[in-house]
Amino acid sequence: MQDILAHRLDHLNESSTLKMAKMSREMKAKGFDIINLSLGEPDFDTPMHIKQAAIEAINQNYSHYPPVSGYPELRQAIADKFLRENGLSYMASQVIVSTGAKQAIYNALMSILDIGDEVIIPGPYWVSYPEMVKMAEGTSVFVNAGIEQDFKITPAQLEKAITSKTKAFVYSNPSNPTGSFYNHEELKGLAEVFAKYPNFYIISDEIYEHINFTGKHASLASFPEIFDRCIVINGVSKSFAMTGYRMGYLAAKQEIASACEKIQGQVTSGACSISQRATLKALTSDMTPTYEMGAEFLKRRDFIVNKLKNIPGLISNVPQGAFYVFPDASYYIGKQHDGGKINNTTELSLYLLQNAHVSLVSGAGFGAENNIRLSFAASMDNIDMAIDRLAESLGKLS
């Protein structure tokens, strides 16, 4: 009984975003005035008409097990959404509703990966991608793009990473953590490379679809030559401020969708019945609240980017989507403070939490050791105060 826990946990990292959020909550519980810029969660409430749909679902006794893949009418509404908004044609049977987009991604990876299969992940990347690949016993192959490339890989970089073992490519657009956004022309260049190598799948995480500041979303699945190889991930957490409802979905060719349903049937079964009814309302109603939320995020984007310019040594791009800014903070690595030396951005993040009382996330968990991630899913007043605190605390380093 010496080995109590499974060895797979030896190589599995804790989510850095959730870890920082946990630490900030603990400090807040002790009475510290913490401003949390670590979590990727809209600070808006779910729109009233969606909340009312959830209440009605309870009153109408949607309290029994739903189908594993989701209610048929919701799956059809999602298929309709893909056609209406993205020009993608799926049958309802090709849509699987899951407990959050995170589960949808995990289902997809578990469906297609065997031991040793390689998954290309452009970096910086969402913290959970490589950990999910580990759990599926695959191997992550990282392709890194720095701030000088606006954190976007080139077709040449992609082609260089492809091998005979490549089984999948996974990325988010717009990106968590950088907010960068591949436009149609940039995706076309990647699609041309994908078309040359037909033996692997493309997982396109589009959870931030409606929080983009370019005016037009772009999906890799829109290119006919690779459509059948794309597994499109989406959900309602970000676009409709429904994080706690835990609702995500994927669309893929039938074999993949059926495989994901099979896996989900043995893990969680169907997603929450009440959340499904609320999601049905969200996807079939007026989008005005979503667009208003996006407009507010754009104002905050401009505000935080301009304010960060006043902090010496921080180098930022201008994110085109999501609600993150991902500055290069390498200027502060090696600097001293009363408690010692800053050796990396993880230590820098801890220093800022303890001294500025601002919670943000080191870029290390995203594959970018020199960067830090700040979420601007917070009120303008809190953003203003947080950046002032950061500037003061960073100014004390020597």
How many angstroms from the chain centroid is the CA of residue 130?
13
Structure confidence at residue 338 as a pLDDT band (50, 70, 90): confident
Mean pLDDT of 280-293: 97
CA distance linking residue 386 with residue 384, whole number of Å: 6
Structure confidence at residue 63 as a pLDDT band (50, 70, 90): very high
Question: Which of 105, 102, 92 is closest to 40 using CA atoms?
Answer: 102
Helix (H) or strand (E) holding 55, with range, is: helix 48-59
DSSP lists the bridge partners of residue 141 as 120
pLDDT on residue 2: 61
DSSP string, 196-248: H--SSEEEEE-TTTTSBSSS----GGGSGGGGGGEEEEEESTTTTT-GGG--E
CA distance linking residue 378 with residue 222, whole number of Å: 33
Percent of the chain with pLDDT strictly greater than 70: 99
Crossing angle between the packed helical segments 16-29 and 345-355, to the nearest 10 degrees: 20
Mean pLDDT of 314-323: 96
- Amino acid sitting at position 338: D
3-class SS at 244? helix
Domains of the chain, CATH where assigned: 7-45+289-395 (3.90.1150.10), 48-283 (3.40.640.10)
Length of the chain: 398
DSSP string, 330-388: GGGTT-EETTEE--SHHHHHHHHHHHT-EE-EEGGGGT-TTBEEEE--S-HHHHHHHHH
Structure confidence at residue 294 as a pLDDT band (50, 70, 90): very high
18-51 pLDDT per residue, tens: 777 788 788 888 888 999 999 889 999 999 999 9
The model's pTM = 0.95
- Amino acid sitting at position 203: I
Cα Rg, the chain, nearest whole Å: 21
- Amino acid sitting at position 220: L
Strand-strand pairing, 324-325 and 340-341? unpaired
